[in-house]
Amino acid sequence: MLPVRLRAAFSLTTALNLAGGAFFAVLTRLGHEIKVCDERAEDDENKKKETQRAPGAAPHLPLLPGGAFHDQFQLERFRERIGIALSLRFSFFWSRHGRIFTSPGLRRNLVYCPRNFTAAGASLASLGPMACPAISAPDSRKLVAYVAPMLLFVLLLGMGSGLKTPGAPFWRAAPEFWIYPLQTLLCALLLIYFRRDYDLRRVRKPAFALAIGLLVFFLWIAPQQFLGFAPRAVGFNPDILAGSPTLYWTTVTLRFLRLVVVVPLLEEIFWRGFLLRYLIAEDFLFVPFGTFSWRSFVVVTLGFGLSHSPADWPVALVTGALYNLVAYRTKNLSACILAHALTNFALGLWIVATKQWGFW
C-alpha cells in the first residue's frame, strides 16, 4: 500500500493528465477549424480580388492615408511573431506535461492563425456564419458539450485528492464530503445545459444493456463477496454524519445522484460518445455511434480502466471493454448509460448494505 500523500499525488497527476488530454482535444478541434476557415477566407478574398482586377492591371496594395499602411504592415508582422511564439510555447508545455489521448496526427492540427484577427481587433465571428460554410458553430459547441462535463469532474476530483491531508481540519481531512456534492451539482448543471447536444435516443436492446450492467456489478463485488478478499471499509463513510439526520440523508441522496445519474451520463458521453469515435476520425460527429476500430477500443478501454483507483484497475479494464461491447452491439449511447447506471445503482446498494465504503 502506498503512503497516503504518495497515493494522493499519483491520483492528482492522473487526474490532471486526463483533464489535459480532454482539454487538448478541445483545442485541437478549435485550432483545426480556425485553420480551415482561415484558408477558405483567404482563398475567397484572392478570388474576389482577381475578379475585380482589370485585365493586364498590375497588382496594387490598398491605399491608406498617411502612415496607416505601414502601421498595419507592422501590426501584421507583430501578430504573426506573437502567434509563432505562443504556438511554440504551448507545444513545448504540452510535450512535457500532456501525453495522454494525443497523437502526432492530432498535435499537427493545432495551428495558431494570426490572420483570423483583423487590424481593428475583430474576431472570426464578426465575419458571419457564411465566412466558412464548411464549418458550423454547433460542431464546436458539441465538442465542448461532450468534453466539458468530464473535464470539470476530473478537475474537481484532482483538487480533492490534492487537498486531502490526514489530521487536518475536516474540510481538508475529508474533502470528498464537499467535493462530491459540488461535483454532482456543477456537472449536472453542465449536462442539463448541453442536453440538446447529446444523441440520447430511445434505448435499443435494453435487455442486453441490463444484462451487461448486472454482469459488471457481479464482477466488481466478486473478490470480496465470493472469493474471500479483505473488505474495503475505508472510504466515503456517511455514517459519521449520523448525528444529523438531515445532513446524513442529504449527503447519501447526493452521493447516489452522483453515482447513478451524473457519473454514468458524463462518463458514457465522454468515453463512448466522444473518444471512441474521435479516435477513429477527428470529425467524430460523422462517425456512427458504435463504429469499431482496434485503436479506439484499446485506448478507451485503457483510459476508462486506468482512470479508476489502482486497486480497481483489473475489474475496471474489463468493465471498459464490456461497456464498449454495449456500444458496438446496440449502436446506442442511451443503452451504454443504462448499463452503467444499473451497475452503479446495484453497487451503491451493496456498499450501503455491507459498509464497504472503499468502493465509492
E-strand spans in 13-67?
none
Mean pLDDT of 174-188: 94
Mean pLDDT of 192-202: 95
Split at pLDDT 50, 70, 90, the class of 304 is: very high
Find out whether 112 and 83 touch, Cβ atoms under 8 Å: yes
Sequential DSSP letters for 198-241: S---PPSSHHHHHHHHHHHHHHHHHHHHTS-PPP---S--GGGG
Answer with the residue of higher pLDDT: 88 or 59.
59
Answer with the residue of higher pLDDT: 67 or 222.
222
Of 229, 258, 92, the residue nearest 160 (C-alpha): 258
Find out whether 98 and 14 touch, Cβ atoms under 8 Å: no
Find out whether 337 and 253 touch, Cβ atoms under 8 Å: no
Find out whether 260 and 185 touch, Cβ atoms under 8 Å: no
Of 326, 350, 325, the residue nearest 338 (C-alpha): 326
| Percent over 90 (pLDDT), the chain | 51
Find out whether 20 and 97 touch, Cβ atoms under 8 Å: yes
Q: Which residues of 239-264 are buried (b: 16+ CB within 10 A; e: fewer)?
A: eebeeeeeeeeebeebbbbbbbbbbb
d(CA 289, CA 276): 8
d(CA 351, CA 340): 16
In eight-state DSSP terms, residue 282 is: S
Asked whether the predicted pLDDT for residue 136 surpasses 90, the reply is no
Mean pLDDT of 140-158: 94
Question: CB within 8 A of 14, min separation 6: which ones?
Answer: 158, 306, 307
d(CA 304, CA 101): 11
Looking up cell 456498499, which residue turns up? Answer: 351
Enumerate the domain spans of the chain: 1-50+66-135, 139-359
Determine the straight-line distance between the first and last CA of the chain, rounded to whole angstroms: 18
* Whole-angstrom Cα Rg for the chain: 25
Mean pLDDT of 59-75: 45
d(CA 93, CA 71): 33
d(CA 116, CA 61): 20
Lowest mean pLDDT among 162-166, 252-256, 352-356: 162-166
Answer with the residue of higher pLDDT: 70 or 275.
275
Find out whether 243 and 168 touch, Cβ atoms under 8 Å: no
Mean pLDDT of 256-267: 97
pLDDT digits (tens, 9 = 90+) for 207-219: 999 999 999 999 9
The angle, 0 to 180 degrees and rounded to 10, between the axes of the packed helices 4-52 and 68-97 is: 150
Asked whether the predicted pLDDT for residue 335 surpasses 90, the reply is yes
